[in-house]
Amino acid sequence: MKILLKKYGQILTSRPAGHEAALAMKTTVKPANDEAIELDFEGVLSVGPSWLDEVLSSLRTEYGTDRVICLPTRNPSVIESLRVIDTQPPHSK
């Protein structure tokens, strides 16, 4: 299932805002077993790594790393955010 991130704002920065967004997503996102969760950045102007890390961490903890997918985007702030997040060591449980 697809999550349209523009519904959470055009500018997505800060960990507290990412934390709030992740909590809101988890109350409304009800994927079927093994269904992938796709994050769609269409219509979003800017995404910071803090916001995205908070959302990805929360969703991956809930649904598993492999099921949470960032859809391809040309938004440079997203591309740069993912570059930084992916170089970090994985979350400790």
Partner 1 sequence: MKTGTRAKILEIINKRSGVRPSELIQTLELTPQAVHRHLRTLLEEGRLERRGAGPKVLYFVAGKPQLERVQAWFGAKSKPAENPPELICETRDAFAGRLPRLTSTGLGKDEQSLAIAAVGEIGNNSFDHNLGHWKDTPGCWYQTQTTGGRLWICVADRGQGILKSLARVDPGITDDHTALVTAFEKILSGRAPERRGNGLKYVRNIITGKDRRGLACRSGNGLVDYGKLGVECREELARFPESAGTVTLILWSLK
91 is a contact residue toward partner 1 (CB under 8 A): yes
**Burial class of residue 56, CB neighbours in 10 A (0-12, 13-18, 19+):** buried
> Using the rule CB under 8 A, which residue among 49, 58, 68, 70 binds partner 1?
49
85 is a contact residue toward partner 1 (CB under 8 A): yes
35 is a contact residue toward partner 1 (CB under 8 A): no
Residue (of 29, 93, 22, 28) closest to 53 by Cα position: 22
Distances (CA, A) of 50 to 1, 25, 30, 32, 78: 24, 17, 25, 28, 11
Single-letter code of the amino acid located at 2: K
> Using the rule CB under 8 A, which residue among 27, 28, 33, 92 binds partner 1?
92
Rank residues 18 and 25 by Cβ distance to partner 1 and give the closer one: 18
User: Which positions lie near partner 1, rule CB under 8 A?
Assistant: 10-11, 13-17, 45-50, 53, 57, 75-77, 80-81, 83-85, 87-89, 91-92
